[in-house]
Amino acid sequence: MTLHTFQDGTRFLASSSSLLNEHGIELQVGHDFDEYREILAEARPGHTLGAPLNPDLQPMTPANSFWIAGRDGNGTIMHTQAMRCVDLHGGYLSDYLRRRFVDYPPSGMDLDMNRSRYRAGPGAQRIKGQVCYHGEFWMGGTPGQYRGTGLSYILGRYAFLLGLQMYDPDYIFGFMERTVVFKGFPARHGYMHMEPSALRWYIKNNENPLEGYLVYVGRDDIRFLLDMPLSDILDMAA
């Protein structure tokens, strides 16, 4: 499907800037993931940069990855997220994740990799081509300061737009814990497809697994989302 009304996100950027300005938020985009790690250390001292976006474990260059950081009017970091292109070597995402799901663990946990597993859903078995992984989405602030304002809608779609402009992926995917999914985060963020129980992580000496959903959007999905009037998005957020 081709959406002839899509204008490379121009309308989205113009309409979303007013909401960002209203909250005094400035967004910074970068490619140096050592700098990003310093930003995380400042914003979230107890958080460990996840393996899929760790420059010690992955080749992170401007040609394949970027990060976003948001600061409020006082210069305090209130938002982070990042994206990296993934080489499927001509195959499908399902085959790639069967081999490499251990490279996408939740950070800061002592996992039992022998018991943990990935199960491919029908969508992952169709996804191929140029693919990007999206993660590290975090939004801070005091209770009620940013949540419920529609900012999560804007920030998630902004990453999709940058990914589209920089790398033109066929798909963008990520993982979310079941509890986060049940709170409606994929819908707020803009992920139009989900596969439940894709990942099951076992923490050592714990019999209760963490369930991860695979979430993803296609190129046409992103264009559809970005072409929606912002007023429609914020009405749905209310």
Tens-digit pLDDT profile for residues 96-126 = 999 999 999 998 889 999 999 999 999 999 9
121 SS3 class: coil
pLDDT above 90 (res 60): yes
Output the average pLDDT for the chain: 90
Exposed e or buried b per residue across 215-234, where buried means at least 16 C-beta atoms within 10 angstroms of its C-beta: bbbbbebbbbbbebebeebb
Read off the pLDDT band of 1 (50, 70, 90): very low
pLDDT single digits (tens) 65-102: 999 999 999 999 999 999 999 999 999 999 999 999 99
pLDDT in tens, 193-209: 999 999 999 999 889 99
pLDDT tens digits, one per residue of 141-156? 777 787 777 888 899 9
Nearest to 35 by CA among 16, 62, 17, 7: 62
- pLDDT value at residue 145: 80
The Cα-based distances of 235 to 22, 125, 149, 150, 156 in angstroms read 17, 34, 10, 9, 17
Identify the pLDDT of residue 2.
37
End-to-end C-alpha distance for the chain, whole angstroms: 30
Which of 186, 184, 6, 174 lies closest to 97 in space, CA to CA?
Answer: 174
Contact 212, 199 (CB under 8 A): yes
- Which has more confidence, 8 or 156? 156
Grade residue 13 by pLDDT with cuts at 50, 70 and 90.
Answer: confident
**Confidence (pLDDT) at 227:** 87
